[in-house]
Structure 1
Amino acid sequence: MAQLPPLNALRAFDAAGRHLNFRAAADELGVTQGAVAQHVRQLEAQLGLPLFERLPKGVSFTPAGRGYHARIAAAFQELRAATEALRPTPGKVLISVTPSFAAKWLIPNLPDFAASHPDIDLQILATENVSRFHGDGIDLAVRQGEPPFGAALEAMRLFRQDIIAIAAPSLIAGSPLPLDPTVLADLPKLHDTHDLWPDYLQALGIEDQSGRGLRLSQTTLSIDAARAGQGIALVSRFLVAGELAAGQLVQIRPEVLSGKQNFYLLAARSKRRDPATQAVLDWFSSKAET
């Protein structure tokens, strides 16, 4: 690997390039104008080409200096952003959740949280990837799984994965509830990555007669497709509680398929947890199934 220039020289060049003036750069860095000029000369000597043209009242970029400064300035900005993301901010809590949990439960419940904790800046990272508490700077996470999750984590169960079959009222119009299994067998099925239909149909003692069906990458897409009348979906009951209450979806059979992985709130085990994170944890606890 080629030897990198000294960091102080790069900082002086970055500041001088933003101000196009060594004195202004020196004021920003808290050093003398001579120190900035010396750092820039050393950088130019190491690179073997001039970066600035010296003018009576400042400096201007050479073509090479302009291109080099753009990349150095971007690198410093990335370093500042990375550092800021890791630095604790009073009142800020970053929670990592799956996209389906974010769309179908957390966001609909945010008005209640905001009313209870207007001083907390709750930031949501919606991702299917497993987030790292230290590496990604998150404070809390909601994930499906089974304990134990490791000695470094505290886990609180939020919701059981009680799987129910749901559909739009328009899809089953004219058919009494609970839906007869033979009718269910003929209706189109919505599939997501959990692939729960084989177990559900086996529990009813029927085979699917509807064909291939629509396959989607996320549970939230299956719920939206079900609301649009495109088929029957199998989803965790708590994710569609609002749509069921509003009549936008209906549970078509009483059977409940118990999933193997429940939803848990995870937090790093710590003797001293900041008040904002503890308040968010307590709010989730108040919403958890008993």
Structure 2
Amino acid sequence: MLDASILAHLRCFDVAARLLSFTAAAGQLHLTQSAVSQQIRQLEQRLGYPLFVRQHRRLQLTAQGQTLYRTVSTALQDIDTTLQQLAEQDSVLQISCAPSFALDWLMPRLSAFQQQYPAIQVRLRAEFQRMRRQDMLAAGVAICIRYDPDEMADLPGIPLLDEVLLPVASPDWLAAHPDPCRPGMSLTRLHDSAAWDGAPPFAEWDCWQQGAAEAFRFAPAPWQEREYNLASLSLAAACQGQGVAMARAAQVLELLQQGRVQQVLPATVAAPARYVLRCLQPEDRRVQLFSQWLQQACQQFVRQRRQRLGV
């Protein structure tokens, strides 16, 4: 009974039954209203019973029409889902991510996503620059994750994770500098000179100094400066005992738990930026699954951060 012509009629019937309007169905199927009406009439003739009760400016499904609609709608949806899943097996989900967040936070967790969704191939790109809609389209990027205080006007963002700042150093450094706040103490300040695209050189250090309570600030002193273009590099230098790094909790929490670094002063300050996710096609199933997984991972991290740092 199934052949090419009846399958086309059933597709037309599915849309008309869902919208209960031949006119609306015609608009969605890019056909004329008369073409839709004719296809439904031909289907009814072939089946031998009416599918719709045609009233003035209104359609209503018959009992047979309701039964057929439930079956056809489910079958077509299953076919569409299967086709999409098969297509996804050969496509790559490109994610552009702030480099330090990608290296220190996302990469250690990404295997959990791949185990949960093995059919979705993820390609992670570590990139600094801000990306707007046209940039993402040109680069083939589906998802963009940035540490940024600004909102992109042409692409809505999903807030992922707020950030807090804290000064850290290695245990050996702290043992050699038991009183780092003593006036006149000469210290080496390690910092990310480009915390985000367009950030002032000492944006995070200045933010922490202004936000920390007076008792927990570093005393004015002739600091030595070591600049890096990645927060991961300043943190690595701190782990090696080269000075004090202004760290982001997302990068440093596990190092604190492992004892590789310690808080120099017991003060955390809200960062001037946060991690935000933006995507071109939020209806894309791969984007939806990754976004949901990432938001859940961020929520779990916030709980761990609260237990360790109280924020």
TM-score, normalising length: structure 2: 0.57
The more displaced of 257-266 and 141-150 is 141-150
Task: Give the direction of change, closer, same or farther, for the CA distance of 1:233–1:110 in structure 2 (3 Å limit).
Answer: same
Letter of the 1:283 partner, please give it: W
Q: In structure 2, what is the equivalent of residue 153 of structure 1?
A: 155
Q: Could you tell me how far apart the structure 2 residues matched to 1:208 and 1:128 are? A: 32
Q: Which ranges in structure 1 are unaligned for 5 or more consecutive residues?
A: 1-86
Name the CA distance, whole Å, in 2 between partners of 1:147 and 1:128.
14
Equivalent residues in 2 for 1:1-290 (5 A)?
Answer: 90-131=90-131, 132-146=135-149, 148-150=151-153, 152-173=154-175, 181-182=181-182, 185-193=185-193, 194=195, 195=202, 196-202=204-210, 203=212, 204=214, 206-268=218-280, 270=282, 272-273=283-284, 275-289=285-299
Asked if 1 retains the 8 angstrom alpha-carbon contact of 2:207 and 2:271, the reply is no
Deviation per residue, 1:203-258 (Å, 9 max, x gap) = 44544425322111111110111111111111211111121111111122221222
Cα shift readout 1:91-139 (whole Å, capped 9, x = no counterpart): 5210001111111111111222222222221101111122322111111
CA-atom RMSD in angstroms:
2.7
* Partner of residue 22, structure 2: none
Per-residue CA distance 1:60-112 (angstroms, 9 max, x = gap): xxxxxxxxxxxxxxxxxxxxxxxxxxx98745210001111111111111222
- How many residue pairs match? The answer is 199
Structure 1 residue 197: deviation in Å? 2.5
**1:162 match: secondary structure:** strand
Code of the residue aligned with 1:140 in structure 2: it is: I
Closer, same or farther: CA 206–232 of 1 in aligned 2, 3 Å: closer
CA distance in 2, matches of 1:156, 1:184: 45
CA distance in 2, matches of 1:224, 1:199: 21
SS state at 1:186 partner: coil
Deviations 1:32-57 (A, max 9, x none): xxxxxxxxxxxxxxxxxxxxxxxxxx
Residues in 2 aligned to 1:258 and 1:155: alpha-carbon distance in whole angstroms: 20
CA distance in 1, matches of 2:170, 2:234: 12
Which SS does the other structure have where 2:290 is aligned? helix
Shift in Å at residue 185 of structure 1? 5.0
> TM-score, normalised on structure 1?
0.61
Amino acid at match of 1:282: Q
Amino acid at match of 2:97: V
Helix, strand or coil: the match of 2:234? helix
CA distance in 2, matches of 1:199, 1:147: 16
CA 122–148 in structure 1, closer or farther in 2 if over 3 Å, else same: same
Q: Tell me: CA distance 1:121–1:88, structure 2 relative to 1, closer, same or farther (3 Å).
A: closer
Distance 1:244 1:283 in 2: 25
Secondary structure of 1:197's partner? helix
Q: Secondary structure at the match of 2:250?
A: helix
Q: Which amino acid in the other structure matches residue 265 of structure 2?
A: R
- The more displaced of 90-99 and 161-170 is 90-99
Corresponding residue SS for 1:163: strand
Distance 1:157 1:126, change over 3 A: same
Question: In structure 1, what residue type is equivalent to 2:275?
Answer: F
Partner SS state of residue 135, structure 1: helix
Whether the aligned pair in 2 keeps the contact of 1:201 and 1:207 (CA below 8 Å) is: no
Which moved further from structure 2: 87-96 or 113-122?
Answer: 87-96
Deviation of residue 164 (structure 1)? 0.8
Unaligned segments of structure 2, at least 5 residues: 1-86, 196-201, 303-311
The answer to whether the 8 A contact 2:88-2:119 is kept is: no
* More helix per residue: 2
- State the percentage of identical aligned residues: 23
- Distance in structure 1 (CA, Å) of the matches to 2:269 and 2:288: 33
